[in-house]
Amino acid sequence: MTYGNEASLFDSLDGHRPGPQVTADGVTVREVSCKTLLNRCGIGDYSFNCYVGCMHGCGYCYARYMQRFHPHAEEWGRFVDVKVNAAVVLARQIRRLPPGDVFACSACDGWQPLEAHYRLTRECCRLLLAAGFHVDILTKSRLVLRDLDILAGRDVRVGVTITTPDERWAAIWEPAAASVAERLDVLRQAKASGLATAVMFGPLLPEISDTDAALARLFSLAADVGVDKIWTDTLNPRPRVWPSVQEVLRRYRPDLLEHYRRVLFDRDCRRAYRQELDRRVHEAAAVSGVSDRLG
């Protein structure tokens, strides 16, 4: 069974890749070296990213801030730097670091399509688990199912992000990620393998996935799957996010532009919006009987 389009991904790449190469999908790939891989992180104790850039190219992606530190001529979603020495560097680092919780991954999707070829995130997870670290996975890719063989029976939680229950909106905001149905299947299969599971509903998009109907659907899906932990997140005005969100709205829902501007940039409006959303999130969770799983 294959989980990625590995062959088609590299149809246009030659066997040796000394310089930038372009995938069949038009993503520029550069092989680079890193000096460190595991970083201290606010979400867990550590996080790691084997890739700079993410082929999923989500319209609201916060990881765009990476371009401040790693400037690229290509737009977000159209480049990936591959840290080909990631596993070697990680093995060296974990010999000196105390075990802790590791978030995979904080600035890219570790299971984005290139991972089918490079297998770096897989190897890093294997090393971390063998060294006694706990790994918390968050992905929008079904490729993570490839790695159930090394994850099952270990100290791992498999989580997926779901922004909207509507497949059409998911395809618009997250053009290269797995479908919502596939992400739910990841949770089901992880659960069937005995692993703890989690779902991040976020960022909840005003008037698109934060409506009462959408919240009811999201929490009912979480209840159906029997997911162990549920987080929610609001859309945040992080650097470089707004231009990309505007682009999507201009194309598909120009009537919402002003509403988004207020929710994101008017402090009072934002505070009121978040309080109200929090109330409705708890209500929807209660109706589906999963309040105790809200993180």
Q: Least distance (Å) from ligand SF4 to the CB of residue 124?
A: 16
Beta carbon nearer to ligand SF4, 162 or 290: 162
Beta carbon nearer to ligand SF4, 87 or 143: 143
Beta carbon nearer to ligand SF4, 108 or 263: 108
d(CA 45, CA 103): 8
Residues near ligand SF4, by CB under 6 A = 54, 56-58, 61, 63, 108-109, 140, 174, 177
Beta carbon nearer to ligand SF4, 58 or 225: 58
Rg for the chain, CA atoms, rounded: 19
Beta carbon nearer to ligand SF4, 55 or 90: 55
Quote the strand ranges of the chain, DSSP E: 21-22, 28-32, 39-40, 46-47, 51-52, 79-83, 101-104, 134-139, 156-162, 196-204, 229-234
Q: Least distance (Å) from ligand SF4 to the CB of residue 57?
A: 5
Beta bridge partners of 30: 81
Q: Least distance (Å) from ligand SF4 to the CB of residue 107?
A: 7
Task: Kindly give, in sequence order, each residue whose CB lies less than 8 Å from that of residue 136, ignoring residues fewer than 6 positions away.
Answer: 43, 44, 101, 102, 103, 104, 156, 157, 159, 198
**Locus of tokens 């490079």:** 118
Q: Least distance (Å) from ligand SF4 to the CB of residue 139?
A: 7
Q: Least distance (Å) from ligand SF4 to the CB of residue 168?
A: 17
